[in-house]
Structure 1
Amino acid sequence: MVIDRVIIIVLDSVGVGELPDAAAFGDAGSNTLGNIAARVNLKLPNMARLGLGNIIPLRGIAPVGSPTAAYGKMASKSAGKDTTSGHWELAGLILEKPFPLYPHGFPPEIIEPFERAIGRKVLGNKPASGTVIIEELGAEHMRTGYPIVYTSADSVFQIAAHEDVIPVEELYRYCKIARRLLTGEHAVGRVIARPFIGEPGHFIRTDRRQDFSLEPPRPTLLDAVVNAGLQVMAVGKIKDIFAGRGISRWIHTHDNMDGIDQTCNFMREGGRGLIFTNLVDFDMRYGHRNDVTGYAGALEAFDRRLPELIEALNEGDVLVITADHGCDPTTPSTDHSREYVPLLIYGDKIRKINIGVRPTFADLGATVAEMLDVPYDLAGESFARRLLK
């Protein structure tokens, strides 16, 4: 039985426990959702009814006898634990080689051509927290006009600039220059524009961030859906992650709540295809800042909005809730963590079964392709026949 439309909601960084190889990534003991629940009196009644507490033990969120959704978890086969490789794997593209990392900053063969191309020196050029580095170098940036370049434990080249010093469109131009330069052995996953406003001591990053991702080296589920004549609607940073490939329409969002609003708007339009949404606040605002209370609040805010998403479903729709990696705010690290991701699949035509542990995120891509009846020869093994009534 063919499904009309699949809505995938990625709860960015909401992992559910360390993968077997987590120690090799420095992530032994990481369990984003489980460790938050152990610290905070987490209330997620709507996801609990779907079967969230049936996936892993969660303090205060008991398993239910009759979940209203299919439930399980997925392991990653890709070589990294970053946003790009996680989303690409969800869409059927597994990376065997990790993106390059720069724990000591970028070498001269990257920085010098970049400075020549933009006609300015740069500040920073080191791994740093985005909020910390703008407080450290923001005043000097305003005095000199030099952009702040930094990286993290992820494969990213980030450029921060005050909107009154380097206008946002100019900052985007700098990012496009960096994207063209960062190829071959230096092909980082993402170049990220990080605009901010305010005065020294009171800088605030704005929501005009933009990611300039490496283009997927091979087709993905998104290409397969579009090539079959269906629509792919991208909400949040999905368009950036896939470098615009395989996307019919897209909208950037201000925060998680706006992401849910825009997803519901697309759902009300009807039609056949895929709606692919990333809710980034969990990761960007709370995981990387080790803000356990804020992360818990964001989870509860999503849970309160979940009935709206369910109510917006048509009879031939399927709602998928998952994640792309972990970012455990209870550990000393502020980086992503190598974790399983949850999988909840809801719809009128979905059997309420235990999916178990899938060996790769790509199994979801294969399953979505089969449900939508689109040709698919990418990574992953479909479990659609188990799911559909």
Structure 2
Amino acid sequence: MTRAIVIIMDSVGIGAMPDAAAYGDTGSNTIVHISKAVGGLKIPNLTRMGLANITDIPFIAAIADPAGNYGKMSELSPGKDTTTGHWEISGIVLNEPFPTFPSAFPKEFIKQFELRIGRETLGNEVASGTEIIERLGVEHMRTGKPIVYTSADSVFQIAAHEEIIPLDDLMAICRTAREMLVNELGVSRVIARPFIGDTGHFQRTTNRHDFSVKPMEKTLLDHVIARGQKVFAVGKINDIFAGQGISEYVLTKGNDDGVNKTIDYMKRYEPGMIFTNLVDFDMVYGHRNNVKGYAEALEAFDRRIPEIISALRDDDILIISADHGCDPTTDSTDHSREYVPVLAYGRQLKKGINLGTRESFADLGATIAEYLGIEPLVHGQSFYSSIRI
């Protein structure tokens, strides 16, 4: 009845990787810079698990006897996007990055896309989601034209006011884009970005939906299911894997709801894996360079950790990590190429083991595979032997 509970703090990086300069991310350090900016994060539970033992975090002291095991992980795959990070965690290491479009999408593609959906579009530029909605939202409401934009990541984003283009219609438009964006235009995700409100007060809603490409190889999730165990996905995990390797999923409305639904799954005591993404860190605060909000979100999650630990069975393993960075203290509103923290806790595990700097995010997946007794993954080196009693 062993289970692994994996919680991804979306975008909570812990320092620029050696190749960060190639991505324009020299010096990025999401959690360190946030703590410095607010005069010290109040995260006693993450600290107790060993977070401040991974690296020097301003105003937070490392502790001598962490309750968890701690380290950081490098990303072998090129890129710094959500799909790449989660896929590598689950055992896929990409040789080539997903395509990005720093000059926006080809005009011929946009023309064909407009013909397919029967609407003209606005935008087709590299932009911050909140900024482009404020700038083009009024014209969108007047004309009914969806707003198309991208970022430094491999994404094709479509924003529409829920009262102008109903959600079902927006999702249909996104499915058309997903069908068309293949080969050299094969972005990792098409993202529906619904919003509400009036001029000067537009705000994105939690009704976003990601239309991802399917994994090209079997992932940890597929192997868990093949073993006869369950994979429960919380938040946008189901979207990231295009439903592949998922037994059951639930969507969330914010980080707190994500924690609630993770605990709900934990109460079911079914063997396998619970895989949770807490997206607010990234979507609501990181991309908006909202340092104070990001700090408060980290502190709010920290307050929920005792509940999560209380819901663990004796033979459960809890791993808290991230998928990339998104340093809100920099000028950029994009993801950042960073190491990610890894914290591993279980009542039947050792405590206070320094896992060092792992070669790949896939080490996390390899560890879970060994813990659950399933076949080893192609990529990744398990650290389970270091922490098992």
Where on the TM-score scale, by shorter chain, does this alignment land: which range?
A: over 0.9
Displacement, 1:129?
1.1
**2:384 alignment partner in structure 1:** 384
Shift of 1:109: 3.3
Task: Provide, for residues 275-314 of structure 1, a one-character-per-residue CA deviation record: whole Å limited to 9, x for no partner.
Answer: 0000011111111111111111000000001100000000
Q: Bigger shift: 66-75 or 374-383? A: 374-383
Are 2:368 and 1:368 aligned? yes
| Equivalent residue, structure 2, for 1:316 | 315
Contact residue 220 and residue 378 of structure 1 kept, 8 A? no
Correspondence for 2:21 among 9, 20, 23: 23
Q: Is residue 269 of structure 2 the alignment partner of residue 270 of structure 1?
A: yes
**CA drift at 1:113:** 1.7
8 A Cα contact 1:224 1:376, kept in partner: no
Residues 177-222 of structure 1 show CA distances to partners (whole Å, capped at 9, x for unaligned) of 0000000011001000011112222212111000000111111101
Alignment pair present for 1:36 and 2:34: yes
Report the Cα distance in structure 2 between the residues aligned to 1:367 and 1:112, rounded to whole angstroms: 47
Residue 97 of structure 2 is matched in structure 1 by 98
SS in 1 for 2:333: coil
8 A contact 1:93–1:218 mirrored in 2? yes
Deviations along 1:260-289, whole A, 9 cap, x unmatched? 000000001111000000001111111111
Deviations along 1:62-100, one digit per CA (max 9) or x if unpaired, are 111111011111000011000000000000001111111
Match of 2:127 in 1: 128
Q: How does 1:289-304 map to 2 (within 5 A)?
A: 289-304=288-303
Query: What are the equivalent positions in structure 2 for 1:38-117 lying under 5 Å apart?
Result: 38-40=36-38, 41-117=40-116
Give, in whole Å, the separation in 1 of the partners of 2:337 and 2:206.
27
CA distance in 2, matches of 1:365, 1:242: 15
Partner residue in 2 for 1:335 = 334
CA-to-aligned-CA distance 1:22-47 (integer Å, 9 cap, x gap): 11111111110111111112111011
Letter in 2 for 1:7: I
Checking the alignment, whether the CA contact within 8 Å between 1:193 and 1:209 is kept in structure 2 is yes
Please give the secondary structure, in 2, of the residue aligned with 1:367. Answer: helix
Look up the SS of the partner of 1:211 in the other structure.
strand
Q: Distance in 1 between matches of 2:143 and 2:330?
A: 37
Distance 1:205 1:277 in 2: 21
* TM-score, with structure 2 as normaliser: 0.98
Take 1:306 and 1:22, find their aligned partners in 2: how far apart are those partners?
31
What SS does structure 1 have at the residue aligned with 2:148?
strand
Conserved? CA contact 1:51–1:63, under 8 Å: yes
Among candidates 3, 8, 30, match of residue 6 of structure 2: 8
Q: Matches of 1:290 and 1:314 in 2, distance apart?
A: 38
- 8 Å contact 2:50–2:343 — kept in the other structure? yes
Question: Structure 1 CA distance, aligned partners of 2:383 and 2:195?
Answer: 45
The reply to whether residue 305 of structure 1 matches residue 304 of structure 2 is yes
Equivalent position of 1:349 in the other structure:
348
The 1-side partners of 2:18 and 2:160 are apart by 40
Letter paired with 2:343? L
- In 1, the alpha carbon distance for the partners of 2:242 and 2:5 equals 20
Partner amino acid for 1:15?
Answer: G
Q: Please say if residues 220 and 377 of structure 2, whose CA atoms lie closer than 8 Å, have aligned partners that are also in contact.
A: no
Shift in Å, 1:376: 2.9
8 Å Cα contact 1:42-1:60 kept in structure 2? yes
Offset of 1:377 from its aligned partner?
3.3
- Give the CA deviation at 1:343: 0.6
Deviation at 1:60, TM superposition (A): 1.8
CA distance in 1, matches of 2:380, 2:55: 23
Aligned to 2:309, what secondary structure does the other structure show? Answer: helix
| 1:334 Cα deviation after fit | 1.1
Q: Return the letter of the residue paired with 1:55.
A: I
For normalisation by structure 1, the TM-score amounts to 0.98
Q: Write the letter of the residue equivalent to 2:364.
A: L
Tell me the distance in 1 between the aligned counterparts of 2:282 and 2:32. Answer: 16
Given residue 296 of structure 1, which amino acid in structure 2 is its aligned partner? Answer: A
- Whether the 8 Å CA contact 2:369–2:377 is kept in 1: the answer is no
* Cα pair 2:232 2:247 within 8 Å, conserved: yes
Partners in 2 of 1:93 and 1:18 — Cα distance?
Answer: 22
CA RMSD of aligned residues (A): 0.9
Counterparts of 1:5 and 1:273, CA distance in 2: 5
Tell me the secondary structure at the aligned position of residue 199 of structure 1. coil
Whole-Å Cα distance in 2 between the matches of residues 27 and 138 of structure 1? 30
Segments ≥4 residues shifted beyond 2 Å = none
C-alpha distance in structure 1 between counterparts of 2:368 and 2:108, whole Å: 42
Matches of 2:108 and 2:260, distance apart in 1: 44
Q: Which amino acid aligns with 2:73?
A: M
